[in-house]
Amino acid sequence: MSDDEKNIDLHPEIDKNMPAPLADAIRSGSVSETILKHSHDADEAMKAFAGHMGEVIHIDEATNKRLLRRIDFNLIPIMCVVYGLNYLDKTTLSYASIMGLKKDIGLVGNDYQWLGSMFYFGYIAWEYPTNRLLQRLPIGKYSAACVIAWGLVLSCFAAVESFAGAVAIRFMLGVCEAAVTPGFALITSQWYTRKEQGARTGIWFSFNGWAQIFGGLVAYGIARGTANHQTSIEGWKIVFLLTGLLTVVVGIIFFFTVPDNQMNARWLSKEDRLLALERIRINQQGVGNKHFKWYQVREALLDPITWAFFFYALIADIPNGGISNFFSQLITSFGYTAEQSLLYGTPGGAVEVITLIVGGWLGDRIGNRILVASFGLILSIIGMSLIVGLPLDNNKGRLGGYYLTQASAMPFVAFLSLISSNVAGYTKKTTVAAIYLIGYCVGNIIGPQTFRPKDAPRYVPAEIVIICCWAVCLCIMAFIYVWSRRQNVLKARVRTHADYTKLENQEFLDLTDRENAEFVYSL
């Protein structure tokens, strides 16, 4: 057997995609020289450590906690508010639908279903380009520009007078919002260790629930106010103007608050910026790389876990697309009035907040986000089964079933945090995030179409489709869990081999999770 064949045998499939210079460095032992030669292709964090080559920076527990508190204080509140508005801006259509929108702009037949889906056509059309821009452009500034743009677009909905105009606005709203979720996932992976990411992702994503509470109360107040008092414009137009202009203001604050990475964070001293980078070394991912790497795209497309994420998002978001656009009408089908549906929908937001925050914290605590998140999906299946199976006169029981369905976001958020934790290589990460969210878009496009007008007001066929989708999703979750554990076993074997060599500053070389034997997948 030749020397080259022996080297190949020492590296299983997880190392075969390693770039030639790095593979040669391991074989030859000239690691430091190779890193310097190819440092232009490494992570942005390598620039900060240029003068500390080979020097180990130790962070004591007190300093680590101080940095974490400062990062949380400056990032989490603004991310929470923006993500809450992200959800609120999508669901304004549901509130407006029972406040006179359909009649005022002449919606007939399947027009409303198509308005619900049109947002995701815009989202899916711009999802991959926006992920490329998130890699190429300063992530904080680009994300802020998108937030401001979507607020302006949403405000324009108040001027819509026809179905065609509404379609255009919904499409552009999807384009503008496409950067938010992948951008926030990247920001979370930049600033937090893998053990911290699940809880933080759960916190900012939970503001979907807070938005549902806030939006329902505001819409109810506006509906009551316009019913009792004369106003110059319709109530549904006030909803769009209020949420749109509020989003613009928050976007401007975001621009001045959220940095592009640790190196230009105004609220960190020069010394703390370096320490903030050092504390995430354990992630084996770095903070970003602006070079587009085709081999990482190829690896993403050939990685089975990428497609498991994609199919989970697609199938799980068929229910999400239907429920988020039809929850007001669904509640009225339980025997409540249109105004009551606005008010009674708000506890569903509280269920989402509690399950996401508790689930994110518990998943990080026990080191198993997938297992914890599966309970959310089981609760949702029970809830939808109650809606379908309980007698029609049991309004409270069916309403309670709707509240349980709001736990369904737990696995979606867990996998979003796992893309942050378990996908390394910046080009690969943005590619997998784009594929995951394309699945999210396709599911949300299909979802509203399952709520057919002929099935109103109960929509039983749509409810059965939702139960079946969630059952399939449980199987996909089991596959992801087993696959990740298997990859960790393979990597452990590589690290224990006598010829294995860890590279200097390997954590910041922009290696993918497959080619980095030090990388351990979170569950």
The string of pLDDT tens digits covering residues 362-415 is 888 888 889 999 999 999 999 989 888 888 788 888 888 888 988 988 998 888
Question: Where is mean pLDDT largest: 44-58, 262-276, 328-342?
Answer: 262-276
Q: Which residue has the higher pLDDT, 50 or 122?
A: 122
CB atoms within 10 A of CB 508: 26
In this prediction, residue 360 has a pLDDT band, given cuts at 50, 70 and 90, of confident
> CA-CA distance, 514 to 17, in Å (whole number)?
8
CB atoms within 10 A of CB 42: 21
DSSP annotation string for 132-163 = HHHHHS-HHHHHHHHHHHHHHHHHHGGG--SH
Q: Would you state the structure tokens that stand for residue 314, as one six-digit string?
A: 């697609």
Q: Is the pLDDT of residue 225 over 90?
A: no
Tokens 């503001």, residue?
207
**Domain at 72-259+295-493, CATH from 1.10.260.40, 1.20.1250.20, 3.40.50.300, 3.40.50.410:** 1.20.1250.20
The pLDDT tens digits of the residues spanning 283-320 come to 666 555 667 788 888 988 999 999 999 999 999 989 88
Longest dimension (CA), the chain: 89
| pLDDT, average across residues 266-278 | 86
265-269, 283-287, 436-440, 518-522 — which is least confidently predicted? 283-287
pLDDT for 480 equals: 92
| pLDDT, average across residues 484-491 | 87
The pLDDT tens digits of the residues spanning 185-198 come to 889 888 888 888 88
Sorted by where each begins, the domain ranges of the chain are 72-259+295-493
Q: What whole-number percentage of the chain has pLDDT above 90?
A: 21
Q: Is the pLDDT of residue 483 over 70?
A: yes
pLDDT for 235 equals: 74
Which helix (H) or strand (E) is 318 found in, with range?
helix 304-332
* Strand, helix or coil for residue 459: coil
pLDDT for 470 equals: 94
In this prediction, residue 255 has a pLDDT band, given cuts at 50, 70 and 90, of very high
pLDDT for 194 equals: 81
Q: Which residue has the higher pLDDT, 108 or 484?
A: 484
Q: Is the pLDDT of residue 15 over 80?
A: no
pLDDT for 77 equals: 94
Q: Which residue has the higher pLDDT, 99 or 122?
A: 122
> CA-CA distance, 418 to 415, in Å (whole number)?
5
pLDDT for 52 equals: 53
